[in-house]
Structure 1
Amino acid sequence: MTDANPDPGWYYCTKHNRVEHGQTCRKADLLGPYPDRETAERALEIARERTKAADEADRRWSEDD
């Protein structure tokens, strides 16, 4: 049985620099969905951490050549 009213999720809008519940802005401007407001508030920090980890993985991969 599917939920007729699923939670729309939490997003961080990079255009307005704010957390939104549901997709109220353009999808191109949103990071998420996140499970809760607190996680969405950390969206930019999470993105920086993921970028740093990906850059490190790329560096290690390049060194293996």
Structure 2
Amino acid sequence: MRRGYLRDPVAAGLVPVHSDLMNDSGSGVHYYWCTRHHRVETDADVCPARHVLGPYDSAADAEGALQKVRERNEVWEAEDARWAGEGS
């Protein structure tokens, strides 16, 4: 046996795979918050990825995207300050 090589042969063809994690069994509609137009957009009218946050499961979630970003940033900034010793 040579070192660094597989002992068992590798399949030389396509192998069918099924994953529930990659299965889109929901409504199929995704919602995005557009930072350029300041509105909720769907798959049918979404701007380029550099301008949107998402996807979200509902229009309400997409509409609250910026607030969630603000909240997360505040938490991270506080954690950074504590880590750097600014809060003690």
TM range (shorter): 0.7 to 0.9
Query: Percent identity at matched positions?
Result: 36
CA deviations on 1:6-29 (whole Å, 9 max, x unpaired) are 724211000000001126201000
Relative to the length of structure 1, the TM-score reads 0.80
How far apart are 1:60 and its partner, in Å? 1.1
Q: TM-score, normalised by structure 2?
A: 0.61
Give the number of the structure whose alpha-carbon radius of gyration is greater.
Answer: 2
> Which has more helix, going by share of residues?
1
The Cα RMSD (Å) is 2.4
Number of residue pairs the alignment of both structures matches: 64
Which aligned pairs between 1:27-38 and structure 2 lie closer than 5 A? 27-38=49-60
Greater strand content: 1
Is 1:62 matched with 2:84?
A: yes
* Structure with more contact order per residue of length (Cα contacts < 8 Å, sep ≥ 6): 1
Tell me, in whole angstroms, the C-alpha distance in 2 between the residues paired with 1:48 and 1:9.
22
Report runs of 4+ in structure 1 exceeding 6 Å deviation.
none
Can you give the 5+ residue segments of structure 2 that lack an aligned partner in the other structure?
1-17
